[in-house]
Amino acid sequence: MANPITDKQLVQAIVPELQDDYRVAKSYVRDVPTQSLLHLRSLLFKLTDKIASALGKAITTPNLYDRIEELNNQRLINVRLTRRMHKIRADGNRGAHPEKYRLAFDDLVKIAERSVERCAQLLAELYPVLLKQPVPDYQFVDFDSLAGREICYKAIMENHPESQLLVGLSLKTKALEQRKQEFSRAELAKENVVEHQASSSTLKQAGHYFELAHTHLVAAKHEYGVALINGYLGETQLSKGCELIKQAAQSEHSEAMALYGFFLLTGNDAVDIDLTEAQRYLSKAAESGQPEAMANLGVLYYQSGHAASNLEKAFQYTEQAAQAGYPQGQYNLYLMLVNGDGCDADAQAGERWLAEAAEQGHFDAMLARAQHMLSSDDLGHDKELAERYLREVIRYGHSVTAMLELSLGLANGAFGDVDFVKACAWLLEAEHRSQDDASRLASITALKQEYANHIQQLLAQDQADEQLQLALKGLSRG
């Protein structure tokens, strides 16, 4: 019996022109998972063409979601293959915007590993479809970490631009993880000022590598522009950063087109608002499958006036962004479905998209979802999930509204036992952060009196409860 072939040999046998994409994606998994996911998304785009042409069909749409759906609608692939392809596509979108999905580096590695394995399984299932013969036995070879050493060597010793870009991207992802840890440490220590020494140092290194590569690679030019705008290398250089992103956008780099289109849509100190140019850049980026551009096109059309045609276009692009897995697009789609903007109002469908956005860490969606779960009897509520959402919105977004919701939930036993001690602590924290909001302070003052009345009733039954006594004193001092 012949030995099984490897997964790389399987790819070479079925679609030889995709073997380099697959090889690179697999080699980047452990060290540059974002690029691994982007390579897989690119592979998937090419694969849709291969499937269609092999079966005598053609696909004209540039949107990857629509390409997969068209294959399914034409019965060129079955439902299982369609779902597998959509999962790889969605993971690719996470790789393009890890900061918007708040993914840790280890999470990205796991997603990239899973996505590579899914890609191999997808190609194995496509083997008999495309080659009209049974798929041979194959063995998925485990991942290794040798590629990372080679990338670092080439970046430093050979001044290799692509390797310099990859090292910069890896450092940027590491810095985002460090920044999250810095916020966590500050929260545990109850410090109001967060020290970003480690993450700032790593971002500076990332910016250095982007700078080295930016005259050679459009992608590096975009990243260097982002680094300058965000002050990775020291002082913020908005004008120079925006100019570099504009140049990358003019070279039709999809991420740069999406970002520069956003600048033109909203304006800043270096870029004037120009809706015509914003539409042009965002449309080009959306055509390439860039979900953030789709979402911002939706915003552009929504803000262009409430004529039916504008709202319909706004809904169309917002729905595309949501289907592409982009959290802001999902949240915007929830709002449009609830209000019936550009569509028939559908609160249930809106709630499903809100849940999707919340699961991906969108702050506004998490807060709204938690509020709905705590106030409605129709959502099959998971109170622990609602509490987790509120705590994460507080942790990363410092939302006073979430503090108040959490305080009320603890006070009325929504998460289990009534806990006035913690409820008071969150109420006082909300008060501390609301000094410039007279209306909110008035509401907090009323809640403090309500809590004090309840605590006094509890102390009348158990005067020895020291924690409740301290909570009551805290309300009085506050």
Q: What is the pLDDT of residues 252-295, one digit of tens each?
A: 999 999 999 999 999 999 999 999 999 999 999 998 889 999 99
pLDDT at 289: 83
The burial of 316, by beta-carbon neighbours within 10 Å (0-12 exposed, 13-18 middle, 19 or more buried), is given as middle
The mean-pLDDT minimum among 130-134, 285-289, 378-382 falls in 378-382
Give the start-to-end residue ranges of the domains of the chain: 1-136, 156-251, 388-477
Residue 193 has pLDDT above 60, yes or no: no
pLDDT at 158: 94
Closest CA to 296 of 285, 312, 309, 308: 285
CB-based contacts of 337, cutoff 8 Å, min separation 6: 343, 345, 346, 347, 349, 350, 353
pLDDT at 147: 72
pTM to 2 decimals?
A: 0.81
**pLDDT confidence tier of residue 181, bands split at 50, 70 and 90:** confident
Q: For residue range 99-113, what is the model confidence (pLDDT) as tens digits?
A: 677 777 888 899 999
More confident position, 227 or 308:
227
Q: For residue range 153-175, what is the model confidence (pLDDT) as tens digits?
A: 999 999 999 999 999 998 998 88
Query: What 3-state class would DSSP assign to 298?
Result: helix
pLDDT at 2: 64
User: What value does the mean pLDDT of the chain take?
Assistant: 90
Mention the CATH class of domain 1-136. mainly alpha
pLDDT at 204: 96
**pLDDT confidence tier of residue 90, bands split at 50, 70 and 90:** confident
**pLDDT confidence tier of residue 191, bands split at 50, 70 and 90:** low
Residue 95, CA distances (Å) to 9, 102, 241 in order: 25, 11, 23
The burial of 278, by beta-carbon neighbours within 10 Å (0-12 exposed, 13-18 middle, 19 or more buried), is given as buried
pLDDT at 91: 87
pLDDT at 40: 92
More confident position, 237 or 60:
237
Query: Which letter does DSSP use for residue 381 in this model?
Result: -
